[in-house]
Amino acid sequence: MTTTQTGREGYHPFASGLVVFASVMLIVFGILDFFRGLMAIARNEVFVSTPNYLFKFDLTAWGWLHLVFGLLAVAIGLGLMKPSRWARVGGVVLAGILVIINFLSLPYYPLWSLVAIAMYTAVIWALCVVRTPDTV
C-alpha cells in the first residue's frame, strides 16, 4: 500500500481528516456546552442535586464554567480549520480542561458528562496523533 505525501516526509492525508474531526467535535460540543451552561444559569432545576458532593459548587457557577469554556471550544475549533500550531496546542489544553470540568460535574448531569469526557478524549487523541505539514 502506498501513501501519498506532500513533499514533507511523514505527512499523510489521513492526518488532515483527524484534525477536521477534532475541529468539528470541538465546535459541536462547544455549542452544546454553551447551551448546557445557559440551562444551568437559567434553570437550576434541570440538573440533579447531589447533597454531599466533595466538589460542590453552585449550579450557576458550573453554568458559567460550561458557557465560557464552550465558547472557547468553538473559537479553537474554528481556528483548527486552518493548520496552525497554536490551535492544535490550544485544542489539546482546552479539551483536557473540559475533561476535568465534565468529570467534576458528573453528579449534576452524569450521562452527558460521560459522553463529553469520551468525546473530548477523542479530540485530544486526534490532535496528538497526527503529523501535519506545520509540525513536521
This prediction has a pTM of 0.76
User: Quick one: pLDDT at residue 104?
Assistant: 83
pLDDT (0 to 100) of residue 67: 92
What whole-number distance in Å separates Cα of residue 116 and Cα of residue 31? 12
Residue 85: the pLDDT is 85
In angstroms, the CA 91 to CA 127 distance is 7
Which pLDDT score is estimated for 121?
A: 95
Q: Is 89 within 8 Å of 57 (Cβ atoms)?
A: no
Per-residue confidence (pLDDT) for residue 82, from 0 to 100: 83
In whole angstroms, give the CA distance from residue 79 to residue 117: 21
Q: What is the pLDDT along the chain (136 residues), one digit of tens a residue?
A: 444 444 445 444 545 688 889 999 999 999 998 998 888 788 765 555 656 655 566 777 778 888 999 999 999 999 988 878 888 999 999 999 999 988 888 877 788 889 999 999 999 999 998 765 555 4
Instruction: Give the residue extent of every domain in the chain.
Output: 14-42+56-129
pLDDT at 7: 46
Distance between CA atoms of residues 17 and 12, nearest Å: 10
